[in-house]
Amino acid sequence: MGQTVTIDPVTRIEGHAKITIHLDDGGAVEDVRFHVTEFRGFEKFCEGRSFWEMPGITARICGICPVSHLMASAKAGDAILGVKIPPAAEKLRRLMNWAQYVQSHALSFFHLSAPDLLLGMESFPAARNIVGLIQAYPDVARNGIRLRQIGQEIIRILGGKSVHPSWTVPGGVRQPLSADDRDTIKRMLPDAFDIIEIALDLLKDSFESFAREIETYGNFPSLFAGLVTPDGGLEHYDGLFRVMDSDGKLLEEGIDPARYRSIIEEAVEPWSYLKFPYYKPLGYEDGAGMYRVGPLARINICDYIGTPRADRELRQFRRLGERGKPVASSFHYHYARLIEVLFALEKIEETLESDDITSTRVRSEAGVNQLVGIGVSEAPRGTLFHEYHVDENGILQKANLIVATGQNNLAMNRTVRQIAEAYITGGKPGEGLLNRLEHGIRMFDPCLSCSTHAVGQMDLQVTLVDRHGTVIDRLTR
Amino acid sequence: MKQHAKRKKIRLATAWLGGCSGCHMSLLDLDERLVDLFQAADLVYSPIADIKTFPEEVDVTLVEGAVANVDHLELAQQIRERSTIVVSFGDCAVTGNVTSLRNRLKVDDLLTKVYQEGPGKAPRGLEEDRIIPALIPKVLPLHQVIEVDAYVPGCPPEPDAIWEAVNALLHGAPVRLKQEMRYFG
């Protein structure tokens, strides 16, 4: 008789999830599943609300990356108004977005993953958290807390609140930046640069001792997708959508992200509330259309980063992959994340020097001019799509959101399977192994409070698989 | 809090039901004050720690989020049985807030629309495989499910309000937030 081991709940991730491992009679791994157990239904209950309310409502999808939803939602609103927002407003939005990368990536690295990296994957569970880190490595913990604080503080200075600021709105932003506040932000940056350098050293020093993890934690070929600037640079706020295969070949060079439906489709499995988006041209079968988004994907698909210090790191990062190919190990999400923090800090510094950064012209006024608005932005965890269909009064008739974490669902499932197969040699796995599986999920920094709101209006495929992995039913609409 | 260092450490828990984790983010926004907090309190259960079952004999539990599915119901009841003080932490726990916006829709309709606009099988907390929890018909604020001892409103509550509430609790005092800390949204 085979047995099932359940990890419930998966902890130190941003959301609600379980992992099940199905073992066969001989104790070998038969199947591993990452189940997302939360469901809230945003797109449906937003029907009937005004698009003006959407940034405020959709920010509540996620308290970790509310700014991402503010950006995508406000950009969808810009499209409904049919306006180009003032240049200072775009710079200010980008500033807040980069500040969010700083706080969110600091949270992921220091608060959630560093306990595994510094205390050990198999260390005592009750102390394997930020509190244990404060005790064992107080300087590291304090640095993490400080880096996250700097990101949150910039958001608060710009928007009045660090979580759910009601500042980014269709047409621009509500409040300009004062010269005093600009200077306050500037004064925080040297500290942040010091901390990110320490974090980069810390992580790179760990590569040698984590060689086996790098090999077995989500190391497989897949597609990578995300936004890039029109000339191929790293991009977080706007840009074109690019898809790269595991050989480094571009399958989509740079398409208008508003056309996302032509290349992304979603499947549903009966054992998770989270859908399974895939790259449509290659299909769902055997994970052929599996793609990864987020820091690793963005750093892999861009031709260059565009700031001096981050570009230097990029050259080191590229050496981790086979020549000319993207870096395949998901363990390097950690590295990519830190490179993005460095980039964000450099961009914040550069942007604060713009002549018009304190301009008071920060909002374009208009009414409803388009009945469909699609807003796309890069959230810390990957590409975020908001699509709104409104009536003449701006009342939502239909909404579709695709969030980053959903797009990593196939890859996260593949990752937990790969780790289980590598570390289970027969019989019931020990506690340390369970934490390894969870770390596999943590690398993706999934945001499950975000991920379970996607209501696909697209083609939908449901696959039923029996315990032997045989497809017994498939329904498509 | 240093003068209380010799006192038995408070057993503190935090839980996350149906919400966005914004309240937990605001808790982390205590920043350096976290170091003081964890000198006075042991964190015995939390989404940021690796403890899988809600422990016995917890002094204070902060509960973020509304009650939206059967797992939340079960956890809320465990929290009540095993905690001396339960704090309704943030607007979703206090009022249902954004999480309860789904209450005008029937659960079956909602899931059908989301997962199977057309023929298909929705994940809906299959009876035989209780891996994913079934949604309850209406999202409920925490005090409609269990007795609550203190309320800290806000979406999310500001770190200063959290600090004031947590400090009172650590000293065994009742939570009395100043007027300007008692707001919603």
Number of Cβ pairs < 8 A linking chain A and chain B: 184
pLDDT given at position A432: 74
Residues 86-145 of B with CB under 8 A from A: 97-99, 101-102, 104-105, 110-111, 113-123, 126, 129, 131-133, 135
Residues of chain A positioned with their CB less than 8 A from the CB of B104: 45
User: Is the CB of B117 less than 8 angstroms away from the CB of A477?
Assistant: yes
Which burial class, exposed, middle or buried, applies to A185 when counting CB atoms under 10 A from its CB (0-12, 13-18, 19+)? Answer: buried
Residues of chain B positioned with their CB less than 8 A from the CB of A270: 121-123, 126
Query: Residue B53: which pLDDT band, with cuts at 50, 70 and 90?
Result: confident
d(CA A127, CA A140): 15
B14 has a chain A CB within 8 A of its CB: no
Least CB–CB distance from B43: residue in A43, A131, A162: A131
CA nearest to A161 within chain B: B158
pLDDT in tens, B59-90: 999 999 999 988 899 999 999 999 999 999 99
A131 has a chain B CB within 8 A of its CB: yes
ipTM of the complex: 0.87
CA-CA-CA-CA torsion sign (A135, A137, A139, A143): negative
Question: A380 pLDDT exceeds 50?
Answer: yes
Domain assignment present for residue A126? The answer is no
User: Is the CB of B119 less than 8 angstroms away from the CB of A477?
Assistant: yes
Domain that holds residue A14: 3-38+413-476
pLDDT given at position A436: 86
B118 Cα to chain A: minimum distance (Å): 6
Question: B179 pLDDT exceeds 70?
Answer: yes
B20 has a chain A CB within 8 A of its CB: yes
A229 Cα to chain B: minimum distance (Å): 31
Question: A290, A305, A328: which is the final residue of a domain?
Answer: A328
Which comes out higher in pLDDT, residue A31 or A301? A301
Average pLDDT, chain A: 88
Question: A296, A328, A360: which is the final residue of a domain?
Answer: A328
Q: Which among A295, A325, A342 has a CA at the least distance from the CA of A444?
A: A295
d(CA B180, CA A278): 48
Token duo for residue A253: 């060079």
Percent of chain A, pLDDT > 70? Answer: 89
Coil/strand/helix, residue B68: strand
User: Is the CB of A475 less than 8 angstroms away from the CB of B133?
Assistant: no
Domain assignment present for residue A141? The answer is no
d(CA A289, CA B122): 22
Domain assignment present for residue A419? The answer is yes
User: Is the CB of B20 less than 8 angstroms away from the CB of A129?
Assistant: no
Say if residue A324 is in the same domain as residue A224.
yes
Residues of chain A positioned with their CB less than 8 A from the CB of B99: 40
Say if residue A224 is in the same domain as residue A321.
yes
Identify from B11, B48, B113 which residue to disrupt to test chain A contact, counting A C-beta atoms within 10 A and taking the largest count: B48
Domain count, chain A: 2
Question: B8 pLDDT exceeds 60?
Answer: yes
Identify from B53, B69, B131, B135 which residue to disrupt to test chain A contact, counting A C-beta atoms within 10 A and taking the largest count: B131
Token duo for residue B157: 């509550």
Strand partners, A264: A279
Return phi, psi of residue A182, to 5°.
-60, -45
User: Is the CB of B32 less than 8 angstroms away from the CB of A145?
Assistant: yes
Residue with tokens 């405020």, as numbered in its chain:
A56
pLDDT given at position A463: 47
A57 has a chain B CB within 8 A of its CB: yes
Residue with tokens 């990110």, as numbered in its chain:
A196
Question: A187 pLDDT exceeds 60?
Answer: yes
Which comes out higher in pLDDT, residue A296 or A39? A296
Identify from A53, A64, A105, A131 which residue to disrupt to test chain B contact, counting B C-beta atoms within 10 A and taking the largest count: A131
pLDDT in tens, A136-176: 999 999 999 999 999 999 999 999 999 999 999 999 999 99
Question: A285 pLDDT exceeds 90?
Answer: no
User: Is the CB of A12 less than 8 angstroms away from the CB of B50?
Assistant: yes
Least CB–CB distance from B21: residue in A11, A449, A460: A449
Containing H/E element for B67? strand B67-69
Residues 422-441 of A with CB under 8 A from B: 435, 438
A322 Cα to chain B: minimum distance (Å): 35
pLDDT in tens, A381-425: 999 999 999 999 999 999 988 888 889 999 999 998 998 888 887
Domain assignment present for residue A464? The answer is yes
Highest mean pLDDT among A5-9, A19-23, B94-98: B94-98
Domain assignment present for residue A399? The answer is no
Residues of chain A positioned with their CB less than 8 A from the CB of B23: 63
Residues of chain B positioned with their CB less than 8 A from the CB of A142: 32, 35
Mean pLDDT of A284-308: 96
Q: What is the DSSP letter of B118?
A: S
Domain assignment present for residue A467? The answer is yes
Question: A328, A350, A384: which is the final residue of a domain?
Answer: A328
Mean pLDDT of A450-468: 42
HEC profile of chain A:
CCEEEEECCCCCCECCEEEEEEECCCCCEEEEEEEECCCCCHHHHCCCCEHHHHHHHHHCCCCCCHHHHHHHHHHHHHHHHCCCCCHHHHHHHHHHHHHHHHHHHHHHHHHHHHHHHHHCCCCCHHHCCHHHHHHHCHHHHHHHHHHHHHHHHHHHHHHCCCCCCCCEECCEECCCCCHHHHHHHHHHHHHHHHHHHHHHHHHHHHCCCCHHHHHHCCECCCEEEEEECCCCEECCCCCEEEEECCCCCEEEEEECHHHHHHCEEEEECCCCCCCEEEEHHHCCHHHCCCEECCHHHHHHHCCECCCHHHHHHHHHHHCCCCCCCCCCEHHHHHHHHHHHHHHHHHHHHHHHCCCCCCCCCCECCCCCCCCEEEEEEEECCEEEEEEEEECCCCEEEEEEEECHHHHCHHHHHHHHHHHHHHHCCCCCCCHHHHHHHHHHHHCCCCEHHHHCCCCCCCCEEEEEECCCCCEEEEEEC
Domain assignment present for residue A135? The answer is no
pTM of the model: 0.90
User: Is the CB of B21 less than 8 angstroms away from the CB of A63?
Assistant: yes
| Inter-CA distances, B169 with A3, A4, A137, A329, B156, Å | 44, 41, 28, 45, 19
Q: Which among A272, A269, A210, A260 has a CA at the least distance from the CA of A439?
A: A210
A62 has a chain B CB within 8 A of its CB: yes
pLDDT given at position A449: 52
Token duo for residue B15: 């839980």
Domain assignment present for residue A434? The answer is yes
CA nearest to B33 within chain A: A145
Query: Residue A476: which pLDDT band, with cuts at 50, 70 and 90?
Result: very low
Containing H/E element for B62? strand B58-64
B79 Cα to chain A: minimum distance (Å): 15
pLDDT given at position A232: 97
Least CB–CB distance from B121: residue in A15, A62, A464: A464
pLDDT given at position B130: 55
Which comes out higher in pLDDT, residue A45 or A87? A87
Reading phi first (left if > 0) and then psi (alpha if -120 to 50, else beta), residue B146 is in beta
**Domains plus CATH for chain B?**
10-101+135-175 (3.40.50.700)
Question: A468 pLDDT exceeds 60?
Answer: no
pLDDT in tens, B86-143: 999 999 999 999 999 999 988 877 777 766 553 334 454 443 345 677 888 999 999 9
Identify from A40, A401, A467 which residue to disrupt to test chain B contact, counting B C-beta atoms within 10 A and taking the largest count: A40
Token duo for residue B173: 């005092």
Query: Residue A303: which pLDDT band, with cuts at 50, 70 and 90?
Result: very high
pLDDT in tens, A194-223: 999 999 999 999 999 999 999 999 999 999
Residues 31-60 of B with CB under 8 A from A: 31-32, 34-35, 38, 42-43, 46-52
